[in-house]
Amino acid sequence: MVNLFGGLLGNYSEVSIPELKSQYGVYLTPQEEIRMGFKLVRDAFIITDDRLILIDHQGVTGKKTRVASIHLNSIYEVTMETGGTGFEDCEVTLHYITSPYHKSNNLQTSLYKFEFGKKFNVQPLYTALVSIASENCKRLNS
């Protein structure tokens, strides 16, 4: 019941890897492995060893599905906001490169924000993503 209320409020909750594989395994490439994943009522995001998969079920029935990817090697900045007092939630925001050539002069970027319940420990997710971003910054700026 708590997960349902969290979902209705727009907060992701963690899902087990076996459950993610059974529901979303069709979106994985042959050698890709799921590291962790989160669900929000019908929508989900999955972190694999190569990319972040965003799954958005649309419409009343949810049969129409939009699947998008953010490749981990394109993430260059991650910010975190922990929950405070009251109704404030935790947030993780990813800044990533959308242009196909990461070292181009015409660099295009975007951001994606994830919200979690205020009691969710967002620190491990933030630490994992910021270490990826740090390695990417070193690679991009070398």
pLDDT digits (tens, 9 = 90+) for 90-131: 889 999 999 887 777 788 999 999 887 777 788 888 988 999
Instruction: Please tell me the pTM assigned to this model.
Output: 0.79
Q: What is the CA 30 to chain-centroid distance, rounded? A: 21
Question: Which amino acid is located at 72 in the chain?
Answer: L
User: In Å, what is the CA distance from 118 to each residue of 10, 42, 68, 84, 94?
Assistant: 12, 20, 26, 7, 19
pLDDT mean over 78-101: 84
C-alpha gyration radius of the chain: 16
State the average pLDDT for the chain: 83
Region 14-29 average pLDDT? 92
